[in-house]
Structure 1
Amino acid sequence: MPNIAQWTGTPSVKGSTESMRMALLTASLIGLQFTWTVEMTYCTPYLLELGLTKSSISLVWIAGPLSGMIMQPIVGIVADRSKSRWGRRRPFMLGGTVIVSLFLLLLGWTREFVQLFVTDKENSKTATIAMAVVSIYGIDFAINAVQGSCRGLIVDTLPIPKQQMGSSWASRMVAVGSLIGYGAGAVHLESIFGPMLGNTQFKQLTAVAAITLCLAVGVTSYAVTERVLVNNGQEEGQLGAFEVLKTIFNNARHLPQGIAAICHVQFWAWIGWFPFLFYSTTWVGEIYLRYDAPAEAKISGDITGQVGRIGSQALTSFSVITFVMSVILPWFVKSPQDEAPDFTPRPPSSIASIVLEIEKYKPSLLTAWTASLCIFACAMATAPFIRSLHTATIIVGLCGISWAITCWAPFTFLGVEINRLSQPDHHPYGNMTRNSIELDGPVQLHLNHGPDDSHGTTGASSGAYLGIMNLYTTIPQFIGTIISWVVFSLLEPGKSPELAKEAHPEEQHGTDGPNAIAMCLFIGALSASVAVLFSRRLKRFQGH
């Protein structure tokens, strides 16, 4: 029985320049983030408009962590062992994309779909809510399969010295997806597309999201050629549900120390990020309706569209800052490989002294990650005290700095650790100057992997480790869901007076008390502070 994985072919990415290859490799994340943006921006006010309470909606959002906890590890392990001639990741990316697109369209046209089968008004309202929830679950389960495969493709394709660059490009594409998504949500789409894509802002956004996702994933799938797994170095056999769960459990129990340290930071950070990502748009919209909106705005026919547009305007600033930071910061932050004891930068002799002097003052990626967590914690701690749309927009925008590094740092560290573990050399970051192929030439990216994988990386278990780290991202979301449910139940037990158009007055709560979402954001700040402490513990495993 072989004890190492065996492959055929070489991974490659189309494109004549390194920047073009990186852009094509990570383009799929634009569509992914656009879809997440539509869901996080519009689904909460949409469900509130249908008549659900905030406490009920917090339970609906269990879909996110539940799907991530189930789908990403399972798809990661199954894909790790896939011997498809199309590669290990792209078949899951494409199949999942089709499913996500269908559920997006169903979500946008839920009322019309239900009315085909249910004519009674009361039953129709109940069935519409149920179908909307089913659609959200369908989107979340399918998109997690796509997301895990897209991230795994980046780790599989790039050598260790390019893992930070790949992660920073991924962060840029996430920012682009957010920028396009929030920008589209902030404008009145009906004035652009007319009735062609639907008669409401929400319908048009779901249609545009489906199209964008298909195009983005299609571009990456076309541009990337994966190597094909011939033998994974393990005993062949049916990979049943029990075997998958056993593999996940064993891997999670015996994580290498470096990967475990990364996961612990993710755990605490994501308890804080969960309420921000899912409720910040609604929070900004409610701040506007409570303190700044004229009277006529509060009786608008399309409340979901109005709140979504106001929130999207704030989150557009968040996305712009995220994008700018994801482009600029990698130039001013040391790559993990630069901190390896045997690594020496080799700039051109004419500027060597200047470059080496600048390198002395660059912060490490770990320091940047810690600082970003501090910024996020401070911003969220102010949420309960915000009383104007302008200030809320500033606070949300400031979090863009933190989000840029959050989308970049953990995946860089994880990619380096995964590929380091694949090499016979157990140096903290591998023998990078000798065992990797640079991408600087104007040729295709070719990473040759022989039977011993002494060049480049293997990434044989990248799907499993990415899936496990995703557990440390999704389990906190369960905790965040429980926290949100408790806070909403205590502070805003009735239906939203701003958004539930058909709610009876006695079912509504007042608007003079504390904002429940703001309190959830504040609790998130406390959790982010704990993540800061764990990020300092990560230092001992990063070769500093």
Structure 2
Amino acid sequence: MSNGSPYLLSLGLSKSLLALVWIAGPLSGTLVQPYVGLKSDNCRIRWGKRRPFIVGGAVATIVSLMVLAWTRELVGGFLSIFGADRESQSVKTCIILWAVLFVYILDFSINVIQAATRAFAVDCAPTHQQEAANAWIMRASGIGNIVGYISGYLNLPKILPWLGNSQFKVLCAIASFTLGATVAISCSTVPERDPSHEDTPDGGDGIIAFFKSLFRSVRKLPPQIRRVCEVQFFAWIGWFPFLFYITTYIGEIYVEPFFEANPNMTPDEVDATWEKATRVGTFALLIFALTTFTSSVFLPFIIPPTFKPPPPPSTTPLTPTTPVGSLSASGYFTPKKPASARVSLFIRLCSALTSAIQIPSLTLRRAWLLSHLMFAACMWLTFLVRSTTAGTILVALVGVPWALTCWAPFALISSEISKRDAIRRGLLHTGTHEAALVAAGEDEAGAEGADQAGVVLGIHNVAIAAPQVIATLVSSAIFRVLQKPRGAPGDNSVAWVLRFGGCCAVVAAWLTLRVKEEKEMLEDVERVARVDRRLD
């Protein structure tokens, strides 16, 4: 996106229309992901529920990237066949319209693959590995961000001239190749459950039927998932101002002494000063990405997993009464090749080290709660920041709560979805009243399909994307009141927008207290059991 805006501006798109173009992000996130989630939940192709959407979304994304990168050549070359002048205003207008169209197609395609990939991870990983799976997703995303920021600094056309003559073209080519390779590896190596034998869900295929089904799913969401979505709604009202304006905030700190020393700069001097300020802000984002990745690597090791892996099935000798195909018989006749002594020792050492550094009282829910408070504190520390160094340190610290924001809610939701599916299939028994209803097929969420991975993650994405509208409106109001003319000293409007985000993070922290932990649910079951025993 950081390279997309300059590219669109280079095509002749005005800054006033550029904002309308980037509405494609929240619009597609609000509409496409729930739709894709619902459709993939209902998919009954033998190849799997998610693979068709992953591959389709990847193909559409790659095509959109390449067409967008070569828009000027494609549109100009096509119209020149009919005698149009490539430098004429009409051709330039067609180029802009074509580019905007494919920006929307690109955003929609990305949301297709995102929705399907998240649901793919939920479907394929067992309940006790959901947190680890989402942690690896977070780490992979962190690596991608770092590589992206570094690529932005490099002169890619000089290094890889055969991929294009501009930075944007080379980046699109690299992204397309990487996406194609990773999708091919995932779809070919990760097995997915065959859904062709599952019951075909009822309901129509039209848009009206989709919205009706979506609204029913929202009303019937499992309580735990609903609470996480409520937290996300307020958390992301706070996060969007940071993600949108933090580069500008660091830039304002940089330019402030220059504007105070010379408040009568010419427009060219102001632009030159802000160009340097933007580079300083971009460097802060690179440090932010590094902190986020470092946190994503270490945090999952110090936070104990919510679910323990199931014990391995016992293997007993075959007897005349042993059922054919049972676990015991299968385990008896198909012994696994024992690991080497060195491998076993390494595994034991890693397990011991992980257990030693874990903080037993730091659950995932509590870590998420602390991340909201840490983010709020960092936003309020803007009252004290006066230098770009301090601002960069502040941005780096925000990488810690950002890592948890990218991990904790997804892990909590994925674990809940997987747990309910395991209970329904008889693979997990928790003893709670809700679990009994799920196992018996009498829970409302299961009856309405409101606990399926696709639709749940789609609704969760709505809770993330919709706050962007609120954050944009509030930010615009603050800017209208506090913003000063370009080049004037004393403009701290962005800082107040960030502080508003900190206030929303406090609300999110309070709502996080309502999110149940698995341990608390089991304690409730034990408490009810004790009461029942006393009554008996």
Q: TM-score range by the shorter chain?
A: 0.7 to 0.9
Pairwise CA distance, 1:138: 1.9
CA contact (8 A) 2:253 2:388 kept: yes
Which residue, out of 189, 207, 217, partners 1:241?
207
* TM-score (structure 2 length as normaliser): 0.73
Deviation at 1:350, TM superposition (A): 11
Is 2:43 the counterpart of 1:82? yes
Between Structure 1 and Structure 2, which shows a larger proportion of helix residues? Answer: 2
Deviations 1:438-486 (Å, cap 9, x if unpaired)? xxxxxxxxxxxxxx9xxxxx99811111111111111112222333444
How many Å separate the matches in 2 of 1:461 and 1:365?
22
- Aligned residue number for residue 505 of structure 1: none
2:523 is the alignment partner of 1:525: no
1:250 aligns with 2:226: no
Question: The residue matched to 2:133 in structure 1 has which SS?
Answer: helix
Note the C-alpha offset of 1:409: 0.7
Structure-1 residue corresponding to 2:367 = 368
Taking the aligned partners of 1:522 and 1:324, their CA distance within structure 2 comes to 26
Distance (whole Å) between structure 2 residues aligned to residue 174 and residue 78 of structure 1: 25
Q: Which amino acid aligns with 1:173?
A: A
Q: What is the CA–CA distance in structure 1 between the aligned matches of 2:383 and 2:363, rounded to whole Å?
A: 33
- CA offsets 1:83-126 (integer angstroms, 9 cap, x no match): 22321112211211122222223443444455444746655665
Could you tell me how far apart the structure 2 residues matched to 1:170 and 1:147 are? 11
Greater mean alpha carbon deviation, residues 305-314 or residues 130-139: 305-314
Q: SS of the counterpart of 2:491?
A: coil
Amino acid paired to 1:468: I
Q: Pick from 310, 327, 336: which aligns with 2:306?
A: 336
Confirm or deny: 8 A CA contact 2:303 2:360 kept in the other structure. Answer: no
Which residue pairs with 2:167 in the alignment? 201
**Aligned CA distance change for structure 1 residues 306 and 44 (closer, same or farther; 3 Å):** farther
SS of equivalent residue, structure 2 residue 195 = strand
Q: Of the candidates 457, 473, 477, which is equivalent to residue 464 of structure 2?
A: 473
Q: 1:277 aligns with which of 231, 236, 243?
A: 243
Aligned to 2:133: 166
1:47–1:398 distance in 2 versus 1, CA, 3 Å: farther
Q: 2: distance between equivalents of 1:191 and 1:302?
A: 25
| Equivalent AA in structure 1 for residue 123 of structure 2 | D
SS in 2 for 1:336: coil
Tell me: CA distance 1:204–1:327, structure 2 relative to 1, closer, same or farther (3 Å): same
2:53 to 92, 100, 125: 92
Note if contact 1:80-1:88 (Cα within 8 Å) is conserved in structure 2.
yes
Counterpart-to-counterpart distance in 1, 2:361 and 2:281: 35
Aligned pair in 2 of structure 1 residues 525, 349: CA closer, same or farther (>3 Å)?
A: closer
- 8 Å CA contact 1:68–1:470 kept in 2: the answer is yes
Is the deviation greater in 250-259 or in 213-222?
Answer: 213-222
Q: Distance in 2 between matches of 1:351 and 1:141?
A: 42
Question: By how many angstroms is 1:66 displaced?
Answer: 0.9
Residue 408 of structure 1, CA deviation: 1.2
Tell me the TM-score normalised to structure 1 length. Answer: 0.72
What's the CA shift string for 1:14-35, capped at 9, x where partnerless?
xxxxxxxxxxxxxxxxxxxxxx
Residue 512 of structure 1 aligns to a residue in which SS?
A: coil
Deviating more after overlay: 381-390 vs 89-98: 381-390
The answer to whether the 8 A contact 2:44-2:195 is kept is yes
Conservation of the 8 A alpha-carbon contact between 1:201 and 1:305: no
Deviation at 1:71, TM superposition (A): 0.8
Q: Which amino acid aligns with 1:61?
A: W
Partners of 1:107 and 1:307 in 2: how far apart?
A: 29
What does 1:498-509 correspond to in 2, within 5 Å? 509=486
Corresponding residue for 1:140?
107
User: Using CA pairs below 8 Å that are at least 6 residues apart, which structure has the higher relative contact order?
Assistant: 1
Quote how far apart the aligned CAs of 1:487 are. Answer: 4.3
TM-fit CA distance, 1:534: 0.8
CA contact (8 A) 2:143 2:293 kept: yes
The amino acid that maps onto 1:467 is: G
The change in CA–CA distance for 1:221 and 1:540 in structure 2 (over 3 A counts) is closer
Q: Say if 2:502 is the partner of 1:535.
A: no
Q: Is the 8 A contact 1:379 1:399 kept in 2?
A: yes
What is the SS of the residue equivalent to 1:210?
Answer: helix
> 2-side partners of 1:237 and 1:47: how far apart?
41
Within 5 A, what are the aligned runs for 1:319-468? 319-337=289-307, 361-383=360-382, 388-424=387-423, 430-431=428-429, 461-468=452-459
Hey, what's the Cα distance between the residues in 1 that align with 2:101 and 2:493? 26
Choose 324-333 or 181-190, whichever is displaced more.
181-190
The answer on whether the counterparts of 2:365 and 2:517 sit within 8 Å (CA) in structure 1 is no
SS at match of 2:307: helix
- Contact 1:272 1:526 survives alignment (8 Å): yes
- In the TM superposition, residue 361 of structure 1 has moved relative to its aligned partner by 4.0
Q: 1:192 aligns with which of 149, 159, 164?
A: 159
Distance in 2 between residues matched to 1:44 and 1:282, nearest whole Å: 15
The superposition leaves residues 397-435 of structure 1 with CA deviations (integer Å, 9 ceiling, x where unpaired) of 2221112111111111111211222244799x95389xx
Shift in CA distance, 44/378, structure 1 to aligned 2, threshold 3 Å:
farther
Tell me if the contact between 1:292 and 1:389 (Cα under 8 Å) persists in the aligned partners: no
Moved more, 378-387 or 313-322: 378-387
The separation in 2 between residues aligned to 1:308 and 1:135, in whole angstroms, is: 27
Helix, strand or coil at the partner of 2:520: coil
Secondary structure class of the residue paired with 2:285: helix
Summarize the Cα distance change of 1:492–1:42 in structure 2 as closer, same or farther, 3 Å threshold.
farther
Q: Which amino acid aligns with 1:198?
A: G
Q: Residues 57, 331 of structure 1: CA spacing in aligned structure 2 closer, same or farther, 3 A cutoff?
A: same
Distance 1:158 1:309 in 2: 41
Please list every run of 5 or more consecutive structure 1 residues that lacks an aligned counterpart in the other structure.
1-38, 341-347, 434-451, 453-457, 494-507
> How far apart, CA to CA, are the structure 2 residues paired with 1:515 and 1:542?
45
* Residue identity matched to 2:35: I
**Residues 324 and 211 from structure 1, CA distance in 2 versus in 1: closer, same or farther, beyond 3 angstroms?**
same
1:179 corresponds to which residue?
146
> Can you list the C-alpha shifts for 1:305-339, whole angstroms capped at 9, x where unaligned?
98876544322222221121111111111222269
CA pair 112-123 structure 1, distance change in 2 beyond 3 A: same
Deviations 1:138-181 (A, max 9, x none): 22111011001111111000111111111111111111111111
CA distance in 2, matches of 1:352, 1:146: 34
1:528 CA drift (Å): 1.5
C-alpha contact (below 8 Å) 2:34/2:458 kept by paired residues: yes
Match of 2:180 among 214, 224, 236: 214
Take 2:74 and 2:382, find their aligned partners in 1: how far apart are those partners? Answer: 39
Residue identity in the other structure for 2:500: I
Match of 1:61 among 19, 22, 25: 22
* Conserved 8 A contact 2:128-2:309: no
Change (3 A) 1:225 1:480: same
Backbone CA RMSD of aligned residues: 4.2
